[in-house]
Amino acid sequence: MKAKANGRIHRVELGRHIVADPKICGGQPTFRGTRIMVWIVLEQLEDGLTWGEIEREWDGKVTNEAIAEAIAIASLVVKHEPFRGFHVGARRKRARRPAAVTA
């Protein structure tokens, strides 16, 4: 999250359905308008729940579109950690250097 001129961190929109707001759940990514943390839904998927079961579990507050968005940003979500930005601690693999070609 970026700091404003006054030094305060502001809400970050991670998509249409997911936001990270330091005033909500300590800045962890949540589904818009709820306090449902994205990592919980990702764990439910890992545990084998279907999208429909998850939507029913959360009384329709987490839609199929929101679940798809959570999967898309899963690499940015760390359990019990606030969102730190798109480039901080990115989990990309370093580019391999091409092997020297010998003749």
pLDDT band at 86 (very low <50, low <70, confident <90, very high): low
Greater confidence (93 vs 44) lies with: 44
63's CB contacts (< 8 A; 6+ apart) are 17, 55
Q: What is the pLDDT of residues 3-23, one digit of tens each?
A: 444 555 688 889 999 999 888
Ramachandran region, residue 48 (left: φ > 0; alpha: ψ -120 to 50; beta: rest) = left
Q: What is the pLDDT of residues 24-64, one digit of tens each?
A: 888 889 999 999 999 999 999 999 999 999 999 999 999 99
CATH class of the domain comprising 12-76: mainly alpha
64's CB contacts (< 8 A; 6+ apart) are 51, 55
Highest mean pLDDT among 29-38, 79-88, 94-103: 29-38
**H or E element: which one contains 38?**
helix 38-46
pTM: 0.71
